[in-house]
Structure 1
Amino acid sequence: MAKRRAGNHSSKEVAAVEGSTRKIYKQKGTGGARHGSIRAPQFRGGAVIFGPHPRSYEFSLNKKIRKLGLISALSLKKRENLIIVLDELKAQGYKAVLMLKKLKGLNATASLLVDGSVDSAVLGSISNLPYVDALPVAGLNVLDILKHDKLILTVDALKKIEERLL
């Protein structure tokens, strides 16, 4: 989830702060410290030294570690009997009520639907359901598996997942 962080926090270096570059007062004879610019960090409204700058918090995981995480998330759902396998995933039109009835029949109101290729009618019928998402096998990830209570797979999706993980 680190990739989702905005990372747009920023502070100004000396060159970016507005203000004159003239010497504040003469070098000698004032009894004060020697200063060159009002933009220096010790002055109010001055620069910030080594402050934050926009950056990406994204990091990459090795393929084997990513695969291992997916295997462990799926095995956790299997161990807790939270995986439902269907022959096919079809929606009767774009009605959320019909899909909700179908999910209540499976006792899976907060669920992740995974199919080989997700049908547009399925996407339309779950778009207004708050805790239901649909993904193709290629988009299957650990966060979504753990976030949802039940995992509903089709037989086609199950075969593709086995190919992907073996």
Structure 2
Amino acid sequence: KHALSAKAKEGSLVILDKATSSGKTAELAKQVKDLGWKRALVIDGAEVNGEFAQAARNIEGLDILPTIGANVYDILKRDTLVLTKAGVEALEARLK
């Protein structure tokens, strides 16, 4: 909970409806660059969107995890934390 609060206070917490992609690394890399994400962690729901994960795996500084794989160390070592709505719901349930 404290790691999430710290990211929110820093203004480095982003909430997305879904982590979706066409599966093309170049398109996702451009979006990440345009958003200014240097070292970002995307936490999706119980399962990560397959096309998004495929597009993201070759982008330096972008890591994708399901909520079960998220931990404080991973959250704090990234500059930006990106949560999907499914990720928020799953983390809330996990942290209760």
Taking structure 1 as the reference length, the TM-score comes to 0.54
Among 100, 110, 113, which residue is 2:42 paired with? 113
Between the aligned partners of 1:124 and 1:83, the Cα distance in structure 2 is 23
Between the aligned partners of 1:142 and 1:86, the Cα distance in structure 2 is 20
Q: CA deviation at 1:97?
A: 1.2
- What is the match of residue 79 of structure 2? 149
Among 22, 25, 37, which residue is 1:96 paired with? 25
Structure 1 moving runs of 4+ over 2 Å: 104-107
Between the aligned partners of 2:59 and 2:15, the Cα distance in structure 1 is 20
Unaligned runs of 5+ residues in structure 1 are 1-70
Higher strand share: 2
Corresponding letter in the other structure for 1:156:
A
Please give the per-residue CA displacement for 1:42-81, whole angstroms capped at 9, x wherever unaligned.
Answer: xxxxxxxxxxxxxxxxxxxxxxxxxxxxx11111111101
Instruction: Please state whether the residue corresponding to 1:124 is helix, strand or coil.
Output: helix
Alignment of 1:1-166 (within 5 A): 71-93=1-23, 95-116=24-45, 117-166=47-96
Between the two proteins, the alignment pairs up a number of residues equal to 95
Instruction: Please state whether the residue corresponding to 1:129 is helix, strand or coil.
Output: coil
Instruction: Please state whether the residue corresponding to 2:27 is helix, strand or coil.
Output: helix
Q: CA deviation at 1:142?
A: 1.1
Between the aligned partners of 1:148 and 1:113, the Cα distance in structure 2 is 10
CA RMSD of aligned residues (A): 1.2
Q: CA deviation at 1:152?
A: 0.7
Instruction: Please state whether the residue corresponding to 2:58 is helix, strand or coil.
Output: coil
Please give the per-residue CA displacement for 1:102-139, whole angstroms capped at 9, x wherever unaligned.
Answer: 21232223200111020221121111112110000111
Taking structure 2 as the reference length, the TM-score comes to 0.90
Instruction: Please state whether the residue corresponding to 1:73 is helix, strand or coil.
Output: helix
Between the aligned partners of 1:130 and 1:106, the Cα distance in structure 2 is 15
Specify which structure has the bigger relative contact order, considering alpha-carbon pairs within 8 angstroms and separated by 6 or more residues: 2
Between the aligned partners of 2:60 and 2:34, the Cα distance in structure 1 is 17
Corresponding letter in the other structure for 1:165:
L
